[in-house]
Amino acid sequence: MMYSKIRMISIVLALGFVVIVSVARGQDEHSDIEVALDGSRLITQQRIYESQFPESGITRHYTNEPGFVAEADGLGLITPRLTLRYDLLEDLVYWNGFDFLAPADDVRVRIEHGAVGTGPTYVSVGTGMQLAGSDLTTNRIGTANELGAFHSHLAFYLEPNETSPPLGAYGVKLRLVADADDVLPSEPLYLVFNYGMDESEFDAGLDLFVERLSSGGLVGDFDGSGALDVADIDLLTSAARAVATDLTFDL
C-alpha cells in the first residue's frame, strides 16, 4: 500500500513537471510585446522578440507573433484611447548562420495591419527608415480601450511565397510610437523571425542581434543605409518641418 501511494505521488509530480516545462517552452516561443508608459515614454519589457516563419503547411511563411499587449497585471496600462503605431528604422536584416548579409532583392517581409483603410508595409533591401508620419492609417497597430488596456496582432508574411527564401534569421527593426505629441517613442527593438534554422543556430543569431542593437550606428544615418546621403538630409528636413521632438534626430 505504501509503495502504491509513493508511486502515485511520483507519477503526479512527474506529470506536473511536464506541464510546467511545456508551459514555459510555449511562453518562450511566443511572447507578446508588453507595452507600457514610463512617464511620457513608451517602454517594452525587452528589446529582442523572436518568432518563426513555418517552411510548409497552410501557415507557410506566415505568423501573427509576436502580438502587442498592455494590461494591468503585466507591464502596465497605457493612456486610454491611445493609438499605437510603429516606425521602421532600417532595411530588412538577414543572418545566414555565419554573417549578416543583405537579403536577396526579391525577399521581403510584408506586414498587414487588419484595420480598414490600412495598407500593407514592406521591409526589404532599400526600404530604409519608414516613419509612421501624420497619416494615422500608416503602420497602425491598434487603439487602447477606455481603461488603457490593449491587445493586437499584426500579420507577418515572408515573401516570395512561391519559392523558398534562403534559410536564416530575418530581423525587422522598429520602435513604437503614439498618436499623441506628448508621448515619446520607445527604444528601438528587433523582431527576429526564424526561417528553417535549428534552435541552437537561431539562439546564436539572437545574441548577435542583441549586439547589433546595442552597438548603435553611424551618427546621422537616419535611414540605416550605412552612409550619410541625401535620404538622411530629407528625413531630417521632414522632421524639422513637423517640429519633431523625436530623439532619433537629436545629434
- Give the integer Cα–Cα distance in Å for 8 and 64: 41
Q: pLDDT tier at 6 (50, 70, 90 boundaries)?
A: very low
Residue 218 region, left (φ>0) first, then alpha (ψ -120 to 50), else beta? beta
Among the ranges given (42-56, 127-141, 223-237), the one the predictor scored with the smallest mean pLDDT: 223-237
Q: pLDDT tier at 251 (50, 70, 90 boundaries)?
A: low
- Average model confidence (pLDDT) for the chain? 83
- Give the integer Cα–Cα distance in Å for 139 and 134: 11
Among the ranges given (86-95, 131-140, 172-181), the one the predictor scored with the smallest mean pLDDT: 131-140
Q: Match 528625413 to its residue by C-alpha cell.
A: 235
- Give the integer Cα–Cα distance in Å for 49 and 46: 8
Inter-residue contact 208 to 214 (CB < 8 Å): no
Inter-residue contact 90 to 232 (CB < 8 Å): no
Closest-CA residue to 167 (of 63, 87, 227, 97): 97
> What digits encode the pLDDT tens for the residues 67-104?
999 999 999 999 999 999 999 999 999 999 999 999 99
- Give the integer Cα–Cα distance in Å for 88 and 24: 31
SS3 41: strand
Inter-residue contact 85 to 140 (CB < 8 Å): yes
- Chain-centroid distance of CA 154 in Å reads 10
- Give the integer Cα–Cα distance in Å for 184 and 39: 9
Q: Say whether pLDDT at 7 is over 60.
A: no
pTM: 0.76
